[in-house]
Structure 1
Amino acid sequence: MELNTTTILVAFAGVFLICFMKGSFGGGFAIVGIPLLSLVMDPVTAGGLLAPLFIATDLFSLRYWKPSTWSKPDLLVLLPGLVIGIAVGYGLFSVLDHRAIGIAMAAVTLIFVGMWVLRGGETAVRPRSSSKAVTAGFTSGITTMVAHSGGPPLAMYLLPLGLSKQVYGGTTSLFFTVGNIIKAAPWLALARPTAAVWTLMAICLLAVPSGVWLGWRLHAKLDQRQMYRACYGLLILTAAKLLWDGVSGYLR
């Protein structure tokens, strides 16, 4: 990666967008900002750059996503699966076909969103399921480790619970705060950031406060229905990105 003005501006914009998503929706949509980073660096370098920045974003956002916004019963079941999933993802990082994982996750996500569309944009509230929570946490752990795309599995579990927008955002935020802390060291070991990457990382730190704050302002303005519609819309964007990366990877 060459550290020049273009790289700095593009990376800064990507990190700002990721921070904005964190403030708006609690996390899980980091992949929306990754296309910008891919313009100036390869995916592994981007992963190493983002790993510490995710932690900084998470810690800053905790001033907004306070413990009162966490669904503790769900987190108690989700987090063990997340930890195991990250460990499995790290162990299989070099042998997993990231393209196939992306395509499969995109297909499942689009089916989930398609069912929501067929219901007229209404969320069918379902009771909690420990088995589904463990599966969601585990799947999210693997996908967040290999592709920074752990949002869809978690969203597919949480959205049908009908949580308030604050509790949905806070639960998502803490879930990924734990995940990002755990996966930071593995990602840094895989990416081995250069001096240029560390310098760019320090510059991008400046995007964290304003990005999270502006995202939180948007969250405050959205009502419950708008919040859920925005989340489903972002799932479509995430699925499209995963599908594009997977298919284009096979065509290269």
Structure 2
Amino acid sequence: MELTLTTIMVAFAGVFLICFMKGAFGGGFSIVGIPLLSCVMDPVTAGGLLAPLFIAMDLFALLYWKPSTWSKPDLALLLPGLVIGIGFGYLVFRLLDHRAIAIVMAVLTLIFVGLWLVAGAEIATRPRSRPKAITAGLASGITTMVAHSGGPPLAMYLLPLGLSKEIYAGTTSLFFTVGNATKAVPWLLLVKPTASVWTLMAICLFAIPGGVWLGWRLHGSLDQRQIYRACYGLLVVTALKLLWDGASGYLA
């Protein structure tokens, strides 16, 4: 990858957008910034660029999403599956066709949002379920490893619980802090970033504080209903991006 001014500016904007989403929603929607990165580098290189940056983003976001915003009972159910799922995702990336996983995840996400719309787009208050949490953790681990898109499975578990907007964002933030730290080494083994990629990482670090802070300010200005509607809307964007990535891979 050639390190040009255009590459630096586009990558910086993509990382800033991802940080903004982490500040506003706690994480899980980083895929919305990846199309910007894909304008100046291939998806695998982008994955290698983001893997270490995610750790820095998450650590900075935890300055805002403190332990008081974590749903510890849900995290206890979700995190073991997440770690195992990342291991499966690594094998999928190396051995199997991850485009099919992207398509399946996209379809399931769109169905989930469709059911929410049919139900009247209300905030649900369903009880937590151990089987659903384990399944969500596994699915999120796989999709975050193969496509940096672990948000939909986690959201499909957390949103129906009707958590407060702070607890939802804080729980999501810690969940992906663990996930991104776990998947960083496998991604770096797969990609082996060049010197120019490491340089670009260092430059993009400066996008993190402002992006997270601005997103956090947006979170504070929105009420519970607006946050949930935004999350469901972002799920649609994420699903369409996954569907495009998967389908275009077969058509290419």
In structure 1, the partner of 2:70 is: 70
RMSD: 0.7
Query: Counterpart of 1:218 in 2: which secondary structure?
Result: helix
Query: Counterpart of 1:28 in 2: which secondary structure?
Result: coil
Unaligned runs of 5+ in 2: none
* Pairs within 5 Å for 1:101-120: 101-120=101-120
In structure 2, the partner of 1:226 is: 226
User: C-alpha separation between the residues in 1 aligned to 2:70 and 2:203?
Assistant: 31
In structure 2, the partner of 1:145 is: 145
Q: Is residue 103–residue 247 contact of structure 2 (8 Å, CA) maintained in 1?
A: yes
User: C-alpha separation between the residues in 1 aligned to 2:71 and 2:43?
Assistant: 33
User: C-alpha separation between the residues in 2 aligned to 1:151 and 1:77?
Assistant: 16
In structure 1, the partner of 2:87 is: 87
Amino acid of the structure 2 residue aligned with 1:62: L
* Pairs within 5 Å for 1:51-70: 51-70=51-70
User: C-alpha separation between the residues in 2 aligned to 1:91 and 1:217?
Assistant: 39
Q: Is residue 44–residue 191 contact of structure 2 (8 Å, CA) maintained in 1?
A: yes
Query: After TM superposition, what 4+ stretches of structure 1 lie above 2 angstroms from structure 2?
Result: none
Using the aligned pairs only, state the percent identity: 79
* Pairs within 5 Å for 1:183-194: 183-194=183-194
Q: Deviations over 1:81-125 (max 9, x none)?
A: 000000111123122212111110010000000011112211332
User: C-alpha separation between the residues in 1 aligned to 2:117 and 2:150?
Assistant: 22
In structure 2, the partner of 1:217 is: 217
Q: Normalising to structure 1: TM-score of the pair? A: 0.99
Q: Deviations over 1:37-79 (max 9, x none)?
A: 1111111111110011000000111110000000000000100
Q: Normalising to structure 2: TM-score of the pair? A: 0.99
Q: Is residue 18–residue 32 contact of structure 2 (8 Å, CA) maintained in 1?
A: yes
Amino acid of the structure 2 residue aligned with 1:9: M
Amino acid of the structure 2 residue aligned with 1:129: S
User: C-alpha separation between the residues in 1 aligned to 2:43 and 2:92?
Assistant: 17
Q: CA deviation at 1:250?
A: 1.0
User: C-alpha separation between the residues in 1 aligned to 2:92 and 2:117?
Assistant: 35
User: C-alpha separation between the residues in 2 aligned to 1:36 and 1:92?
Assistant: 25
* Aligned residue pair count: 252
Unaligned runs of 5+ in 1: none
